[in-house]
Amino acid sequence: MAAHPVIYEINTWPWLVGLSSSLGRAVTLGSVPEEVWDEVTATSVTATSGGSGPIDAVWLMGVWQRSPAGVRIGLADGPLVDTFADALPDFTDADVVGSPYSIHDYIVDPHLGGPEGLAAARRALAARGVGLILDFVPNHVATDHPWATASPQRFVTGTVADLAAHPTEFVEVAGTVIANGRDPYFAPWRDVLQLNAFDQGLRAAARDTVRSIADQCDGVRCDMAMLMCNRIFAETWSGRVGPAPDVDYWDAVIPAIRAEHPEFLFIAEAYWGTEGLLRSQGFDHCYDKGFTDALEHHPQSIGSLIADAPDPDGAVHFIENHDEPRAQKVFGDHHPTAAITALTQPGARLLYEGQFDGRTVRLPVQLRREPEQPVVEGLPEFYRRLVAVLGDDALHTGEFTALTVSGWPDHPAGPGLAAWSWTGSARRWLFVVNLDDADGAGLVHTAWNDLAGRPTTLVDPIAEVGFDRPADPEPTIFVMLPPWGAHVLDVDIADPIS
């Protein structure tokens, strides 16, 4: 897969339901029209240079068989049902198909087209030079997963007394009391059972599961990956599991898969500063939730985060996904600048279905369809242009540089200004944003010494404007941006201004 890949996430079940409604016929993964795959992979958008297209991989979220027991548990959960009604006011019980993370079995759900449908979707993507990413949920399985009865030793277990004392934390399955899945900071998830990361039989079964997944796709997004690391698992389940094995969980899983699939991509949903640990255990990319949170709550810190990022190539940057509030809801009119800021950083860039339209409803993952939502005027065209820039070879194989923005005597630079560049063999890009509620001006200090003393043309293909930079003696570029303004500048000095 390309360096710094662009990944497009699709919430598979609602997406297929929406296609079925718009086309007036049932659509599964095996019968998605070719023109829809063209649109999804953005092959109709001409990349500015290099590459086969702007989208490098599609993440089909939620393809595995969902749990019938999970559906019943969800419908009995009053607060959860309230979230269904908030998102989809006319929902019925038939709209609740269960959580894609309460997995009954790692077989493609027949409602979505089964294994044959997935294989057809993978072929369609591969024909467009696009990889396929699926889910792996290491921490838990559904309460009716076959392992619960066949291999209870693979789970964190309890006693009858535990069940009586903590009925919302344990469940009895075929005579065995098993803990519900959880992370240490939240109440347990009632529709799943907690796997024992220290059990060698579970680790062997996990390897077999991921091998099976790897035969069907090009990479996995691993849900809450840090929960299975020895240290965190021991802290979460202290007193209920034995001593940690000498080998950490992911060290026991990832190398075994890479031995058979050397190019297979591992992406970690990761929090709590565990990104470095997971990267050391073989993950290609880990969520950078801190960047997203800073962009929302402390935007003036973004320049420092970019300059001081310890492992930028290993990050996953995003402004929304199925776990997060919708970007349009969070950022409003600031949405385009937030997208430019996050999605042009090094590492993987994650886009989410509906983001281009500016949807505001965060759909509970248990629901099979979305409500009708208006399209934000101008936003699809903005994303069409941004995705074309993301497809440029410079943002995949070029050199990334965090840049300094300074003021001049008696005029400090705007506190919200941040700048960075990508330099490729055929093109170079300058990105400048003003993440502040006041106008911002400053001098961007580029690493392009050939700018010194030469006039230069700067073209912003997103705003569709051009700028003439005079022959300044230093390789600096003066910028003045309104609140939450942005420049995406194609810096071409091959044809000097006459």
Task: Check: CB of residue 104 under 8 Å from CB of residue 144.
Answer: yes
In whole angstroms, what is the distance from residue 372 CA to residue 75 CA? Answer: 23
**Listed residue (450, 446, 435) closest to 483, CA to CA:** 435
**Token couple for 75:** 């419908």
Residue 498 falls inside a structural domain:
no
- Longest pairwise C-alpha distance within the chain: 85
Are 362 and 477 contained in the same domain? Answer: no
Domain termination site, one of 396, 412, 428: 396
In whole angstroms, what is the distance from residue 314 CA to residue 287 CA? Answer: 9
Q: Which residue has the tokens 């995705």?
A: 387
In whole angstroms, what is the distance from residue 80 CA to residue 73 CA? Answer: 10
Are 412 and 331 contained in the same domain? Answer: no
Q: How many residues can be counted in the chain?
A: 498
Taken in order 432, 437, 439, 441, the sign of the CA dihedral is: negative
DSSP 127: T
Are 391 and 403 contained in the same domain? Answer: no
In whole angstroms, what is the distance from residue 140 CA to residue 485 CA? Answer: 44
Exposure of 18 by Cβ count < 10 A (0-12 exposed, 13-18 middle, 19+ buried)? Answer: middle
In this prediction, residue 130 carries a pLDDT of 96
Task: Check: CB of residue 232 under 8 Å from CB of residue 226.
Answer: yes
Are 213 and 344 contained in the same domain? Answer: yes
In this prediction, residue 50 carries a pLDDT of 38
Domain termination site, one of 343, 371, 396: 396
Q: Give the residues across from 60 on adjacent strands.
A: 10
Are 254 and 326 contained in the same domain? Answer: yes
Q: What is the pTM of this model?
A: 0.95
Are 28 and 133 contained in the same domain? Answer: yes
Backbone angles phi, psi at 236, to 5 degrees: -70, -40
* Residue 33 CB neighbour total at 10 angstroms: 12
Residue 172 falls inside a structural domain:
no
CATH code of 479's domain: 2.60.40.1180
pLDDT per residue rounded down to tens, the chain (498 residues): 889 999 999 999 999 999 999 999 999 999 999 999 999 998 644 333 334 468 999 999 999 999 999 999 999 999 999 999 999 999 999 999 999 999 999 999 999 999 999 999 999 999 999 999 999 999 999 999 999 999 999 999 999 999 999 999 999 999 999 999 999 999 999 999 999 999 999 999 999 999 999 999 999 999 999 999 999 999 999 989 999 999 999 999 999 999 999 999 999 999 999 999 999 999 999 999 999 999 999 999 999 999 999 999 999 999 999 999 999 999 999 999 999 999 999 999 999 999 999 999 999 999 999 999 999 999 999 999 999 999 999 999 999 999 999 998 888 999 999 999 999 988 899 999 999 999 999 999 998 988 888 888 899 999 999 998 888 898 999 999 999 999 999 997 554 333
CA distances from 124 to 29, 87, 114, 277, 282 (A): 10, 32, 16, 35, 29
Task: Check: CB of residue 475 under 8 Å from CB of residue 484.
Answer: no
Are 331 and 424 contained in the same domain? Answer: no
In whole angstroms, what is the distance from residue 140 CA to residue 189 CA? Answer: 10
Residue 176 falls inside a structural domain:
no
Total domains, the chain? 2
Residue 434 falls inside a structural domain:
yes
Residue 174 falls inside a structural domain:
no
**Listed residue (441, 388, 446) closest to 422, CA to CA:** 446
In whole angstroms, what is the distance from residue 383 CA to residue 358 CA? Answer: 10
In whole angstroms, what is the distance from residue 398 CA to residue 88 CA? Answer: 44
Residue 159 falls inside a structural domain:
no
DSSP 300: G
In whole angstroms, what is the distance from residue 413 CA to residue 453 CA? Answer: 23
Q: Would you give the end-to-end CA distance of the chain in angstroms?
A: 42
Domain termination site, one of 352, 380, 396: 396
Are 126 and 273 contained in the same domain? Answer: yes
Are 331 and 440 contained in the same domain? Answer: no
Domain extent, residue 302, equals 6-66+75-140+197-396
In this prediction, residue 495 carries a pLDDT of 46
In whole angstroms, what is the distance from residue 46 CA to residue 159 CA? Answer: 61
- Three-class SS state of 95: helix
Are 268 and 306 contained in the same domain? Answer: yes
Are 55 and 92 contained in the same domain? Answer: yes
Task: Check: CB of residue 156 under 8 Å from CB of residue 173.
Answer: no
Looking at residue 338, its amino acid is A
Angle 85-77-239 from CA coordinates, rounded to 5° = 140
Residue 153 falls inside a structural domain:
no
CATH code of 120's domain: 3.20.20.80
Are 238 and 265 contained in the same domain? Answer: yes
Task: Check: CB of residue 91 under 8 Å from CB of residue 85.
Answer: yes
Residue 14 falls inside a structural domain:
yes
In this prediction, residue 430 carries a pLDDT of 97
| Non-local CB neighbours of 185 within 8 Å, separated by 6+ positions | none
Q: Which residue has the tokens 């050939």?
A: 450
Using only C-alpha atoms, what is the Rg of the chain?
24
Per-residue burial over 156-187, b = 16 or more CB atoms within 10 Å of its CB, e = otherwise: bbbeeebbeeeeebbbebeeebbbbbbbeeee
In this prediction, residue 45 carries a pLDDT of 45
In this prediction, residue 53 carries a pLDDT of 65
